[in-house]
Amino acid sequence: MFVLVEMTDTVRIPPWQFERKLNESIAEELNKKLANKVVYNVGLCICLYDITKLEDSYIFPGDGASHTKVHFRYVVFHPFLDEILIGEIKSCSQDGVHVSLGFFDDIVIPPESLQQPAKFDEAEQVWVWEYETEEGAHDLYMDIGEEIRFRVMDETFVDTSPTGPTSAEASTSNATEEVQKKEAPYTLVGSISEPGLGLLSWWTNS
């Protein structure tokens, strides 16, 4: 679920923090910059693991702060393909089941990857697995708050960095920009169409 990512960056320490130990200031700055943020094509950054190398600090004219190039390793949430994860159902909609891991919310299980046959109950707004046995069809509801085991099928990274103003289509692009802003930078697509996947309560031997 978590990977270690080696990165380098130049960290700026303002003069009023010079009295603190350099390691601590740099750790704090790096955490301030990266924690709980998605880095494009890397994943959701959690926290600093360690600092592997500190190069010399420079002070440039015009700015009293010191700039240090740091080589460090960061803990990043980036599940590999086909990994099994356990999450909680956040909501259900026509697009599928939305699952959340607490610290990461943008996981969706599309309708075609649910245990078949499945139907969407409009009244309660939940997806239902119509499980057939010899006794008849059982309707297994996927209620909100239930723990669900799913497999990671696909991941999508969207570059949400701000784009410059477009002079020509200023009025029309406003609407599209707003839609783009709501897009999550990192989404996972899951699947529960295998035996053993789905709500934990479906597969426990009581």
Chain contacts with other proteins (rule: CB under 8 A): 1-10, 12, 14, 16, 23, 27-28, 31-32, 35-37, 39, 41-43, 46-52, 56, 58, 60-65, 67, 69, 71, 73, 75, 77-78, 80, 82-84, 86, 101-103, 149, 151, 194-197, 203, 205
Residue 23 beta carbon to other proteins: minimum distance, rounded to whole angstroms: 6
Residue 170 beta carbon to other proteins: minimum distance, rounded to whole angstroms: 25
Q: Measured from the CB atom, is 1 or 119 closer to other proteins?
A: 1
Residue 28 beta carbon to other proteins: minimum distance, rounded to whole angstroms: 6
Q: Measured from the CB atom, is 77 or 120 closer to other proteins?
A: 77
Residue 106 beta carbon to other proteins: minimum distance, rounded to whole angstroms: 14
Residue 190 beta carbon to other proteins: minimum distance, rounded to whole angstroms: 13
- Exposure string of 133-162, with b = 16+ CB inside 10 Å and e = fewer, is eeeeeeebebeeebebbbbbeebeeeeeee
Question: In terms of C-beta density within 10 A (0-12 exposed, 13-18 middle, 19 or more buried), how is residue 132 classed?
Answer: exposed
E strand or H helix at 13: strand 2-13
CA-angle at 97, arms to 123 and 156, nearest 5°: 150
Cα separation, 169 vs 110, in Å, equals 34
Q: Measured from the CB atom, is 17 or 173 closer to other proteins?
A: 17
Place of tokens 């899951």: 190
Q: Measured from the CB atom, is 19 or 169 closer to other proteins?
A: 19
Q: Measured from the CB atom, is 102 or 164 closer to other proteins?
A: 102
Tokens in use for 102?
């607490």
Give a three-class secondary structure readout of 98-119: EEECCCCCCEEECHHHCCCCEE
Cα separation, 39 vs 75, in Å, equals 12
Q: Measured from the CB atom, is 7 or 108 closer to other proteins?
A: 7
Residue 51 beta carbon to other proteins: minimum distance, rounded to whole angstroms: 5
